[in-house]
Homo-oligomer: A and B are copies of this chain.
Amino acid sequence: MASAEPLRVVAQRLGSLPPPCAHCDARERNFCAALDPAELAELAKVMTEATLPPGGVLFHEGAPADYVMNVTDGAVKLFKLLGDGRRQILGFRFAGDFIGLSAGADYSYSAESLTEAKLCRFPRRKLDAVRERFPQLDRRLLSLSIDELTAAQEQLLLLGRKTAEERLVSFLILLSQGQVRRGQTADPVVLPMTRSDIADYLGLTIETVSRTFSALKKKGLIELQDTTHIHLVDRDRLEEMASGLA
């Protein structure tokens, strides 16, 4: 099964990587970061780029998982549906994030773009071939997968045990941290998603999300510059609330 090809072991796993994967800049959650230039060149050969309009479909739950992809620009939502249409958003993905690893042959959730989004797509079959030859890619994917699992578990805590207010505060802080990770400013939190998306991520209704924003504003904890830009006035207090300190 595993090939016995000589491994090209390269220490430089970070550092800026030029042309090959130009649109895949070396973010933390970008799996390209595990590869040296020679390996990237291999991947670049099988990579295709795509731009989706807002609301565009990346793939549907149950479809053959033929591609994995990196978001290189914009924002994407991942979600699952129940039989009667109830929706749960599993998470949002931004520039630098990786999408599409699947346990079986099919995607286990759907993905749609929130804004206009740019993607690098890799045929799964081709990626598997590269993985055979560069085992450190599996290590990198494992690391990404564990990070994603850890985030999902944090969200289980949120959905199972937090109040509406705690959920919204946790969400704002999570987004703020994501902005910092991507090299943006922590503070005016930008919401590229609708209230409906926020509600379906937090297990609430749009009305409760809206009311909770208003309540936080009245308490002086946040300020809504406009619908999509939130200023966190008292971050310490908000962090405290998010961690469930009565």
Contact = CB atoms under 8 A, between A and B. Distances in A.
Interface of A: 1-4, 6-7, 9, 11, 13, 80, 82-84, 86-88, 90, 101-103, 108-109, 131, 135-136, 138-139, 141-143, 145-150, 152-157, 159-162, 200-203, 240, 243-246
B136 A139 contact: no
Contact of A90 (B6, B84, B153): B153
A86 B145 contact: no
B161 A203 contact: yes
A245 B82 CA distance: 7
A142 B83 CA distance: 30
A208 to B, nearest CB: 13
How many copies of this kind of chain does the complex include?
2
Nearest to A102: B146
Contacts of A246: 83-84
B157 A155 contact: no
Given A9-B4, A135-B138, A82 B145 contact: no
A162 B2 contact: no
Nearest to A159: B159
A147 B202 CA distance: 23
A210 to B, nearest CB: 18
B9 A150 contact: no
B82 A244 contact: yes
Contact of A101 (B139, B146, B154, B201): B146
Contact of A161 (B13, B86, B136): B86
B82 A157 contact: yes
B149 A145 contact: yes
Given A146-B103, A244-B82, A246-B83, A153 B152 contact: yes
A244 B11 contact: no
Given A2-B9, A7-B4, A203-B159, A149 B152 contact: yes
Contacts of A245: 82-84
